[in-house]
Amino acid sequence: QKADVVIEFTAPDSAVSNIKFCTDMGLPVVCGTTGWNEELQEVTDYINGKKGTLVHASNFSLGVNIFFELNRKLAAMMAPYEEYRISMEEIHHTEKKDAPSGTAVTLAQGISEHTNLKKWHLGTDNESDSLPIDAQRIKDVKGTHTVQYSSIIDDIEIKHTAHSRDGFAIGAVIAAEWIIKHKGIFTMKDVLNLS
Protein backbone atom coordinates (compact mmCIF):
# COMPACT_ATOMS: atom_id res chain seq x y z
CA GLN A 1 0.00 0.00 0.00
CA LYS A 2 3.00 2.32 0.37
CA ALA A 3 4.40 1.48 -3.08
CA ASP A 4 4.65 4.10 -5.84
CA VAL A 5 4.77 1.55 -8.68
CA VAL A 6 4.79 -2.23 -9.11
CA ILE A 7 7.29 -4.06 -11.34
CA GLU A 8 5.65 -7.30 -12.48
CA PHE A 9 7.95 -10.01 -13.87
CA THR A 10 6.27 -13.29 -12.95
CA ALA A 11 4.67 -15.91 -15.24
CA PRO A 12 2.04 -15.83 -18.00
CA ASP A 13 -0.60 -17.56 -15.87
CA SER A 14 -0.41 -14.95 -13.08
CA ALA A 15 0.48 -11.71 -14.88
CA VAL A 16 -3.06 -10.68 -15.84
CA SER A 17 -4.48 -11.17 -12.34
CA ASN A 18 -1.45 -9.35 -10.86
CA ILE A 19 -1.96 -6.40 -13.22
CA LYS A 20 -5.66 -6.21 -12.39
CA PHE A 21 -5.03 -6.44 -8.64
CA CYS A 22 -2.43 -3.64 -8.73
CA THR A 23 -4.74 -1.53 -10.90
CA ASP A 24 -7.52 -2.02 -8.33
CA MET A 25 -5.06 -0.79 -5.67
CA GLY A 26 -4.42 2.37 -7.74
CA LEU A 27 -0.82 1.40 -8.50
CA PRO A 28 0.87 1.87 -11.89
CA VAL A 29 2.37 -1.38 -13.23
CA VAL A 30 5.53 -2.08 -15.22
CA CYS A 31 5.03 -5.56 -16.71
CA GLY A 32 7.75 -7.54 -18.45
CA THR A 33 6.04 -10.92 -18.32
CA THR A 34 5.45 -12.43 -21.77
CA GLY A 35 3.10 -15.13 -23.00
CA TRP A 36 -0.23 -13.39 -22.26
CA ASN A 37 -0.66 -11.32 -25.47
CA GLU A 38 -4.01 -12.97 -26.25
CA GLU A 39 -5.38 -11.22 -23.15
CA LEU A 40 -3.90 -7.79 -23.94
CA GLN A 41 -7.22 -6.33 -25.16
CA GLU A 42 -9.00 -7.50 -22.00
CA VAL A 43 -6.26 -5.96 -19.84
CA THR A 44 -6.32 -2.75 -21.89
CA ASP A 45 -10.09 -2.42 -21.42
CA TYR A 46 -9.77 -3.16 -17.69
CA ILE A 47 -7.03 -0.58 -17.12
CA ASN A 48 -8.80 2.07 -19.20
CA GLY A 49 -12.03 1.40 -17.28
CA LYS A 50 -10.20 1.95 -13.98
CA LYS A 51 -8.14 4.89 -15.31
CA GLY A 52 -5.04 2.88 -14.45
CA THR A 53 -1.51 2.92 -15.81
CA LEU A 54 0.60 0.19 -17.41
CA VAL A 55 3.92 -0.05 -19.23
CA HIS A 56 4.22 -3.46 -20.85
CA ALA A 57 7.01 -4.74 -23.06
CA SER A 58 8.39 -8.05 -24.21
CA ASN A 59 11.84 -6.80 -23.28
CA PHE A 60 12.95 -3.88 -21.09
CA SER A 61 16.57 -3.80 -22.22
CA LEU A 62 17.44 -0.40 -23.70
CA GLY A 63 19.59 -2.11 -26.34
CA VAL A 64 16.80 -4.49 -27.36
CA ASN A 65 14.32 -1.64 -27.73
CA ILE A 66 16.75 0.16 -30.03
CA PHE A 67 17.16 -3.19 -31.84
CA PHE A 68 13.36 -3.34 -32.30
CA GLU A 69 13.45 0.00 -34.11
CA LEU A 70 16.46 -1.01 -36.22
CA ASN A 71 14.59 -4.22 -37.14
CA ARG A 72 11.53 -2.22 -38.31
CA LYS A 73 13.66 0.15 -40.37
CA LEU A 74 15.59 -2.71 -41.97
CA ALA A 75 12.35 -4.55 -42.80
CA ALA A 76 11.01 -1.41 -44.50
CA MET A 77 14.26 -0.98 -46.47
CA MET A 78 14.32 -4.63 -47.55
CA ALA A 79 10.62 -4.88 -48.49
CA PRO A 80 11.12 -4.21 -52.23
CA TYR A 81 13.77 -6.93 -52.53
CA GLU A 82 11.79 -10.16 -52.61
CA GLU A 83 14.86 -12.21 -53.53
CA TYR A 84 15.86 -12.13 -49.83
CA ARG A 85 14.49 -14.84 -47.55
CA ILE A 86 13.90 -13.59 -44.00
CA SER A 87 14.50 -15.81 -40.98
CA MET A 88 15.10 -15.41 -37.27
CA GLU A 89 16.98 -17.29 -34.60
CA GLU A 90 16.59 -16.79 -30.87
CA ILE A 91 18.60 -18.50 -28.16
CA HIS A 92 17.79 -18.47 -24.43
CA HIS A 93 18.58 -20.38 -21.26
CA THR A 94 17.00 -23.78 -20.76
CA GLU A 95 14.62 -22.50 -18.04
CA LYS A 96 12.82 -20.12 -20.42
CA LYS A 97 9.16 -21.11 -20.49
CA ASP A 98 7.91 -19.62 -23.78
CA ALA A 99 9.15 -20.30 -27.30
CA PRO A 100 9.62 -18.27 -29.28
CA SER A 101 10.54 -15.54 -26.82
CA GLY A 102 8.35 -12.47 -26.45
CA THR A 103 11.25 -10.50 -27.90
CA ALA A 104 11.23 -12.71 -31.01
CA VAL A 105 7.47 -12.22 -31.38
CA THR A 106 7.92 -8.42 -31.16
CA LEU A 107 10.66 -8.62 -33.81
CA ALA A 108 8.33 -10.72 -36.00
CA GLN A 109 5.58 -8.10 -35.63
CA GLY A 110 8.03 -5.40 -36.75
CA ILE A 111 8.89 -7.45 -39.84
CA SER A 112 5.22 -8.17 -40.64
CA GLU A 113 4.46 -4.42 -40.72
CA HIS A 114 6.60 -4.09 -43.86
CA THR A 115 6.58 -7.48 -45.59
CA ASN A 116 4.20 -10.18 -46.82
CA LEU A 117 5.17 -12.35 -43.82
CA LYS A 118 2.06 -11.73 -41.75
CA LYS A 119 2.58 -14.58 -39.30
CA TRP A 120 5.43 -16.61 -37.79
CA HIS A 121 6.07 -20.28 -37.14
CA LEU A 122 8.56 -22.24 -35.04
CA GLY A 123 11.22 -24.01 -37.05
CA THR A 124 13.39 -23.40 -40.08
CA ASP A 125 11.04 -24.53 -42.86
CA ASN A 126 10.07 -21.95 -45.46
CA GLU A 127 6.41 -21.02 -45.79
CA SER A 128 5.21 -18.39 -48.24
CA ASP A 129 3.55 -15.97 -45.79
CA SER A 130 5.21 -16.98 -42.51
CA LEU A 131 8.49 -16.03 -40.82
CA PRO A 132 10.50 -19.01 -39.57
CA ILE A 133 11.78 -18.62 -36.01
CA ASP A 134 14.37 -21.09 -34.80
CA ALA A 135 14.07 -21.11 -30.98
CA GLN A 136 16.98 -22.78 -29.23
CA ARG A 137 17.45 -23.39 -25.51
CA ILE A 138 21.05 -23.58 -24.28
CA LYS A 139 22.26 -23.50 -20.70
CA ASP A 140 23.31 -20.07 -19.33
CA VAL A 141 22.44 -18.05 -22.45
CA LYS A 142 20.93 -14.70 -21.40
CA GLY A 143 19.30 -14.01 -24.76
CA THR A 144 20.45 -13.73 -28.37
CA HIS A 145 18.26 -12.66 -31.28
CA THR A 146 19.35 -12.67 -34.92
CA VAL A 147 17.34 -11.52 -37.93
CA GLN A 148 18.76 -12.59 -41.28
CA TYR A 149 17.98 -11.66 -44.88
CA SER A 150 19.51 -14.27 -47.21
CA SER A 151 19.82 -14.33 -50.98
CA ILE A 152 21.93 -16.38 -53.37
CA ILE A 153 24.26 -13.37 -53.61
CA ASP A 154 24.67 -12.28 -50.00
CA ASP A 155 23.31 -12.17 -46.45
CA ILE A 156 22.37 -9.21 -44.27
CA GLU A 157 22.14 -9.86 -40.54
CA ILE A 158 21.35 -7.87 -37.41
CA LYS A 159 21.93 -9.37 -33.98
CA HIS A 160 21.48 -8.50 -30.33
CA THR A 161 23.27 -10.46 -27.61
CA ALA A 162 22.56 -9.90 -23.91
CA HIS A 163 25.62 -10.49 -21.73
CA SER A 164 23.74 -10.26 -18.43
CA ARG A 165 20.25 -9.65 -17.10
CA ASP A 166 21.27 -6.26 -15.70
CA GLY A 167 19.98 -4.49 -18.83
CA PHE A 168 16.46 -5.80 -18.26
CA ALA A 169 16.46 -4.57 -14.65
CA ILE A 170 17.82 -1.12 -15.55
CA GLY A 171 15.14 -0.70 -18.23
CA ALA A 172 12.39 -1.72 -15.81
CA VAL A 173 13.59 0.83 -13.24
CA ILE A 174 13.72 3.55 -15.92
CA ALA A 175 10.15 2.63 -16.90
CA ALA A 176 9.05 2.70 -13.24
CA GLU A 177 10.52 6.18 -12.77
CA TRP A 178 8.87 7.37 -16.00
CA ILE A 179 5.40 5.86 -15.40
CA ILE A 180 4.81 7.77 -12.16
CA LYS A 181 4.32 10.97 -14.19
CA HIS A 182 1.97 9.39 -16.80
CA LYS A 183 -1.51 7.89 -17.08
CA GLY A 184 -2.62 5.28 -19.60
CA ILE A 185 -1.12 2.28 -21.37
CA PHE A 186 2.38 2.47 -22.80
CA THR A 187 5.30 0.45 -24.13
CA MET A 188 9.06 0.98 -23.87
CA LYS A 189 8.83 2.82 -27.19
CA ASP A 190 6.95 5.55 -25.30
CA VAL A 191 9.32 5.46 -22.31
CA LEU A 192 12.40 5.85 -24.51
CA ASN A 193 10.69 8.26 -26.94
CA LEU A 194 11.60 6.07 -29.93
CA SER A 195 9.81 7.01 -33.15
Residues belonging to the active site = 92, 96
Answer for the pair 148, 155: CB distance below 8 angstroms, yes or no. yes
Within 10 A of 48 (CB to CB), how many other CB atoms are there?
12
Question: Looking at residue 69, what DSSP letter applies?
Answer: H
Angle at 140 (CA atoms; ends 137, 141), nearest 5 degrees: 60
Question: What percent of the residues of the chain are helix, what percent strand, and what percent coil, each to the nearest 5?
Answer: 35, 25, 40
